[in-house]
Amino acid sequence: MPNFIALETDMVRTLQNGGLDINGQKPQRKTSTGAGNPCRHCLREVPEGEEMLILAHRPFDGVHAYAETGPIFLCAKPCARGGNSADLPTILTTSPDYLVKGYSADEHIVYGTGEVVATTDIQAKVADVFNNPEVAFIHVRSARNNCYQARIERD
């Protein structure tokens, strides 16, 4: 079974307490509209009317050609870490489709694994991608804006 992984709590708490993002900037603070504002820590939408953080994030350990940096949202207030489960996180049920893409242990895209899939087909696509032994982990990204949503690891 796949394991959906949220961002680490220690990193998120640092950002929620005024720490700097991957670009060395303080996260922007905005009010959530409730829809389309997925927190990458609790893996739920930031509730409407609640304050959220907008920041640059690079979900890779290294800096290299495949290490994409992009915008993400986080709850501004401390929230419980989501994921660490085979269950599809709430933030992956709010769009009709997502980009699913496999990466090797050295964080390079495993070509031929990336595909925009219907939300209802994410679990099947993940199982298919993990059939490739070169794939160490998977990212789920927005199909429209390419924003990072969550990491998936083998259990």
Backbone angles phi, psi at 127, to 5 degrees: -60, -40
- Give residue 115's pLDDT band: very low, low, confident or very high (50, 70, 90): very high
Q: Give the 3-state secondary structure of the chain.
A: CEEEECCCHHHHHHHHCCCCCCCCCCCEEEECCCCCCEECCCCCECCCCCEEEEEEECCCCCCCCCCCCEEEEEECCCCCCCEEECCCCHHHCCCCEEEEEEECCCCCECCCCCEEEEHHHHHHHHHHHHCCCCCCEEEEEECCCCCEEEEEEEC
Share of the chain above pLDDT 90, in %: 95
- Give residue 48's pLDDT band: very low, low, confident or very high (50, 70, 90): very high
- The model's pTM is 0.94
- Higher-confidence position of 74 and 34: 74
Residue 145's contacts (CB-CB under 8 Å, 6 or more residues apart) are none
Contact assessment for residue 94 and residue 45, using Cβ atoms and an 8 Å cutoff: yes
What whole-number distance in Å separates Cα of residue 48 and Cα of residue 89? 18
Q: Give the Cα-Cα-Cα angle 53, 55, 58 (nearest 5 degrees).
A: 135
Residue 155: is its pLDDT beyond 90? no
What whole-number distance in Å separates Cα of residue 12 and Cα of residue 81? 9
Residue 106 tokens, joined: 């050295």
